[in-house]
Amino acid sequence: MSRETVVNFILAALLLAVPLLANAVGQPFYITLATRIAILALAATGLNLALGLGGLVSFGHAAFFGIGGYAAGILATHGFSGEPLVFGLSGTNQMLVIWIVAAVTAGLAGLAIGAISLRTSGVYFIMITLAFAQMVYYFAVSWPAYGGEDGLSILVRNQFPGVSTMRPLSFFLICYVVLLAAIGLFALIRASRFGSALQAARQNPVRVATVGIRPFRIRLTAFAISAMMTALAGALFADLNRFVSPSMLSWHMSGELIVLIILGGTGRLFGPLAGAALYVIIEYALGGITERWQFFLGLILLGVVLFARGGLLGFIAGKARHG
Amino acid sequence: MTFALALEQLLNGLQLGVMLFLMAAGLTLIFGVMGLINLAHGSLYMVGAFACATVAAWTGSFWLGLFASLACAAAAGAIVELLVIRRLYDRDHLDQVLATFALILIFSEGTRWMFGSFPLYLDIPPLLQGAVPLPGGTQYPLYRLAIIAAGALVAFALYLLISRTRLGIRIRAGESDREMIGALGVDIRTLYTVVFALGAALAGFAGAMVGALQSVQVGMGEPVLILAFVVIVIGGIGSIKGALLGALLVGVVDTMGRFLLPKLFVLFVPPSQAGMIGGALASMLIYIVMALILAVKPRGLFPPAHA
Amino acid sequence: MKNLLSAATLALAVGASGLAVAEPVKIGMITTLSGGGAGLGVDTRDGFMLAIKQSGNKDIEVITEDDGQKPELAVQIADKMIQSDQVDILTGIVWSNLLMAVAPSAVAQGKFYVSTNAAPAALAGANCNPLYFNAAYQNDNLHEAMGEYANKDYKKLFIMAPNYPAGKDSLTGFKRYFKGELAAEVYTQVGQTDYAAEIAQIRASGADGVFAFLPGGMGIAFMKQYAQSGVNIPIMGPGFSFSQDVLPAIGDAALGVKASGQWVKDLDNEANKKFVADFQKEYNRLPSLYAVQAYDAAQLILSAAANADVKDTEAFRAELLKADIKSPRGNFKFNTNQHPIQDIYVTEVTKEGDVLTNKTVEKIFTDHGDAYAKDCKM
């Protein structure tokens, strides 16, 4: 086992242990905090697929995060009120259905946005993805049907077969399992031929093209899968907060997702989890100490970029094996 | 719709465009020469506005404030460049995004720490108060005309600086070949600091000019920052000419969209709904325009020849 | 085992009710203390803490945290305060979008929420809740007052608000009372800083007055630009647009503007004189609407805590409903939907020495409630 594998294993175990312990001693808030970490890590794992493996720096993944959130919010609202949604279809409060709708919607949005954005590269790509996210953001802010800027409350957390989702620990376990599944999928993709082609397209697009692979298709597929994963996280995030609002779609959110990945270690399997854990803990701890917490958060982030290259995992587990 | 109203809105678009150009010119210069994405550019805009408001309140003179905004923003830019930015030139865009994102947090909370939580007062200088008559029988604020003039002047000065001066030659050399100018014996480190401070001063100048028209408060730079990025991406990153045309395009499209789209929708739906739908579409409009332009020209309207 | 537990709980409950008055009350204040909207949160916190400090009540504990004006963060803090700090009452949120994220789920978990400002229509009507109190107003109120006032002098108005729910509530409330003609109804972008395009439309609209709801930085920008435009059509708006927190930044451009408020600094009652003097003494600035609202929210909680145990939800709620306080606003009581019934005034921006502030012009509504109370079934 490499050092990184050990660290990964410890991270996964810690994330599970803390809520169990918190549950045992009757401190449910730490379960909520761990759930938040798991969900943000899931969103960032999605982005990591595009950004870490494919080198596609999307500054607009908040769009997919928000689409997932709104899918959950809108379906749950209609499920609760009984009003039909569109074409006589009704809403639902079943998480499994919501997840599928969220992922498919975001996947389609990802295909559309990706198809246009992937014509560009570098800074242009960063900015065009931002532009698309801003469009979705302003649409959500000014569209009155689902709360506009005020957002949408989900009165009762959605259901999962055989589990009481209102119990913090149960809901955490759902998110935890989904996160591990997503990390597993990330590992599979990275090791697959598709994943190799994706990484090769990042490192040397010309060579990939000469062996007959079209980088555009590979990147587009990766971008869409990445969007779906992030949307799934968005749906869970909506259920965690029992609330969705346009701020899930804001450019700050896109920025935060990137921050999580870099904090943890770009392109690494458990980088997003390490980053999310570090970020949430810093935010929580500083927020309790001083109202100037954003100032110190800024200093810490700056310190990480300047002095701890490769993020937290790079710092603990040494240089990454791959590019 | 009358001719006077259309003319007034066109001037408004022009003024917004000119202001965006001041921001975008610095951004695009910094990217063109150093290859750096600077998200904290909006913070320098804020620094300019706060410096101007503070000095104007002390001395009673807007003009001293304006001078202070240039000096403070340039100084802040130079310090940030020496302490932080300098270490980021050979990093990828990702690290630059994170580091300058962190700088936004530090600048915003730092400013609030120093100046408190309430917006500051900054008024237009007496010389530029009031409105002047326009053809068509309407009136237009003198100060907005002054902004347009100042922007045009800065654009011209930048053109001269880059095409006629030694510094300009080095900047152009830096844009086309970074290793080359080092080999030519130019002190790159100083050049970079100077360029960064120049960009910062332009942003600070814009912040001070606009601060007199708006609210001088923490976070004021962020909406402008995003618009400035839209501008340089449309124009072609690294191109001053592109930044100018992109800025005017964004300014006019945004203003005209907000003005015309609700009127357009009145033809189809009741007025209060038209206002909402038109307003919603208007706020998305420049991003739609940007996506369309990039879909057709992936490197903007005026991509610099080399990159 | 189960019996033993419930016996223990019973014993605890008995013990608690026996000590009703001395039972400590834990209050969680979530408000905006960083970023562009921090001024409102700072006034909210300071107004609230002034009442707590004056009461000298050592059994009240207030935990304050900054929400950064982000709904997600507000939710996280609320979770922490409820689950970890075990607060009894939440309060302090400034913005309706943050309130909508926090309040419904807080009351669903059996906690009181006493709003110091945000008052969306969504929580005043059919979705009202026994544990949700609003100590400020209902969103539409101040706009309704201006609508009523405008009937006197204006025939054709240009009305304008940001394109978000509170903005729509605003224009809806205004139109509910204004009987004249509308020259145009314009929705601007949230956070918009340049109003040149709208000012040009005002100039061309042929309106004889403008009603604008633009809180915070938006209002500052609009007023400064309007003053330069050469347009002389009179402006009016709800109190938030011309509250004490933004007036210094607008400057003389605000002079003479008519606005509405359920509180004015010069209201002639003892409680108000004392409040204004104490606030100035404590914080060295004039209080804003937000400070008064928070001050009253704290007074309401203090008055209820003096007579009931906060753990006894029914009793505590009944005490809150009595609204047994001396509000700087004068008359104050709760409606059936637990939103205020109060007087509303029209004010004018004026100068006292070098300081811009509002003075009372007339009382426009007496004992005014809101339009949603009839839908609230509690």
pLDDT tens profile B196-225 = 999 999 999 999 999 998 889 888 888 889
Nearest by CB to A135, from B97, B104, B287: name it: B287
pLDDT at residue C279, as a whole number = 96
How far is it, in rounded angstroms, from Cα C107 to Cα C131? Answer: 6
pLDDT tops 90 at residue A322? no
> To the nearest whole angstrom, how far is the Cα of C228 from the nearest Cα of chain B?
5
pLDDT at residue B253, as a whole number = 94
Nearest by CB to A142, from B108, B110, B276: name it: B276
| A255 touching C (Cβ < 8 Å) | no
- From chain B, the residues in CB contact with C228 under 8 A are 124, 129-131, 141-144, 213
Nearest by CB to C191, from B108, B138, B223: name it: B223
Chain B and chain C share a number of CB contacts under 8 A equal to 141
pLDDT at residue C235, as a whole number = 93
Interface confidence, given as ipTM, is 0.86
The structure tokens listed for C139 are 């969103």
Touching B (3+ Cβ pairs <8 A), the chains are A, C
pLDDT tops 70 at residue C12? no
How far is it, in rounded angstroms, from Cα A233 to Cα B287? Answer: 26
pLDDT at residue B1, as a whole number = 54
Nearest by CB to C97, from A36, A168, A245: name it: A245
How far is it, in rounded angstroms, from Cα B76 to Cα C83? Answer: 44
Nearest by CB to A258, from B94, B299, B300: name it: B94
Beta bridge partners of C62: C27
Residue B145 near residue B10 (C-beta atoms within 8 A)? no
Number of residues that this document lists for chain C? 378
Confidence band, pLDDT 50/70/90 cuts, at residue C1: very low
Mean pLDDT per 10-residue section of chain B, whose length is 307 residues: 81 92 92 87 95 94 95 96 90 87 92 86 88 82 93 91 84 72 75 92 94 88 89 89 93 90 82 76 89 88 71
> Which CATH entry fits the domain spanning C21-137+268-334: 3.90.1300.10, 3.40.50.2300, 3.40.50.300, 3.90.600.10?
3.40.50.2300
pLDDT at residue C189, as a whole number = 81
Residue A116 near residue A237 (C-beta atoms within 8 A)? no
pLDDT at residue B164, as a whole number = 86
Q: B53 lies in a domain?
A: yes
Query: How many structural domains comprise chain B?
Result: 1
Q: Chain A interface residues facing chain B, Cβ-Cβ under 8 Å?
A: 51, 57, 59, 116-117, 119-124, 126-128, 130-132, 134-135, 138-139, 141-144, 251, 255, 258-259, 262, 266, 292, 294-295, 297-302, 304-306, 309
pLDDT tens, position by position, A238-265: 999 888 989 999 998 999 999 999 889 8
Considering the domain C141-261+344-375 in this protein, what is its CATH number?
A: 3.40.50.2300
| B131 touching A (Cβ < 8 Å) | no
How far is it, in rounded angstroms, from Cα B158 to Cα A190? Answer: 48
CA nearest to C149, candidates C213, C238, C253: C238
Confidence band, pLDDT 50/70/90 cuts, at residue C2: very low
Nearest by CB to C163, from B15, B16, B276: name it: B276
pLDDT tops 70 at residue C143? yes
Q: Which residue of A has its CA nearest to C80?
A: A29
Residue A313 near residue A270 (C-beta atoms within 8 A)? yes
CA nearest to C103, candidates A31, A241, A73: A241
pLDDT tens, position by position, C176-218: 999 999 998 888 887 788 898 889 889 888 899 999 999 878 8
pLDDT tops 90 at residue A211? no
**Amino acid (one-letter) located at B264:** L
pLDDT at residue C13, as a whole number = 44
Q: Chain C interface residues facing chain A, Cβ-Cβ under 8 Å?
A: 33-34, 65-66, 68, 70-73, 75-77, 79-80, 83-84, 96-97, 100-101, 104-105, 108, 120, 122, 163-166, 168, 187, 189-190
How far is it, in rounded angstroms, from Cα C265 to Cα C245? Answer: 13
How far is it, in rounded angstroms, from Cα C140 to Cα C372? Answer: 10
Is B84's CB within 8 Å of A299's CB? Answer: no
| A243 touching C (Cβ < 8 Å) | yes
> To the nearest whole angstrom, how far is the Cα of B139 from the nearest Cα of chain C?
6
> To the nearest whole angstrom, how far is the Cα of C80 from the nearest Cα of chain A?
5
Determine which of A149, A167, A293 to mutate to test the interface with C (most C C-beta atoms within 10 Å): A149
Those of residues 264-293 in B touching chain C at CB distance below 8 A are: 271-272, 275-276, 279-280, 282-283
The structure tokens listed for A120 are 């560009």
Q: What is the mean pLDDT of residues A280-308?
A: 86
Q: In CATH, what number is assigned to the domain containing residue B102? A: 1.10.3470
- Mean of the per-residue pLDDT values for chain A? 89
Domains of chain A, earliest start first: 3-317 (1.10.3470)
Q: Is C21-137+268-334's fold the same as C141-261+344-375's? A: yes
pLDDT at residue B99, as a whole number = 92
Domain extents in chain C: 21-137+268-334, 141-261+344-375
CA B7, B11, B14 angle in degrees (round to 5)? 140
Q: Which residue of A has its CA nearest to B284?
A: A135
How far is it, in rounded angstroms, from Cα B290 to Cα B213? Answer: 27
Q: What is the mean pLDDT of residues C259-280?
A: 94
What Å distances lie between residue C335 and A267, C25, C134, C362, C370, CA to CA?
58, 25, 10, 23, 8
Determine which of B14, B107, B121 to mutate to test the interface with C (most C C-beta atoms within 10 Å): B121
Per the structure, the complete domain to which residue B218 belongs is given by 15-125+133-296
Nearest by CB to B255, from C197, C251, C252: name it: C197
> To the nearest whole angstrom, how far is the Cα of C359 from the nearest Cα of chain A?
32
> To the nearest whole angstrom, how far is the Cα of A316 from the nearest Cα of chain C?
29
How far is it, in rounded angstroms, from Cα C354 to Cα B141? Answer: 26
Those residues whose C-beta lies under 8 Å from the C-beta of residue B292, and which sit 6 or more positions away, are: none
The structure tokens listed for B266 are 């009145």
Residue C50 near residue C285 (C-beta atoms within 8 A)? no
CA nearest to C304, candidates C141, C91, C153, C122: C91
Is B291's CB within 8 Å of A128's CB? Answer: yes
- Mean of the per-residue pLDDT values for chain C? 88
pLDDT at residue A10, as a whole number = 92
Residue C226 near residue C196 (C-beta atoms within 8 A)? no
Q: Which residue of A has its CA nearest to C95?
A: A150
H-helix or E-strand spanning residue C323:
none
Confidence band, pLDDT 50/70/90 cuts, at residue A284: confident
Q: Which long-range contacts (CB under 8 A, 24 or more apart) does C173-176 make?
A: C173/C139, C173/C140, C173/C141, C173/C142, C173/C143, C173/C144, C173/C147, C173/C371, C174/C143, C174/C144, C174/C146, C174/C147, C174/C150, C174/C211, C174/C213, C175/C147, C176/C140, C176/C144, C176/C147, C176/C371
How far is it, in rounded angstroms, from Cα C354 to Cα B22? Answer: 35
CA nearest to B171, candidates B135, B134, B207, B196: B196
Query: What is the three-class DSSP state of A103?
Result: helix
pLDDT at residue C5, as a whole number = 44
H-helix or E-strand spanning residue A7:
helix A3-24
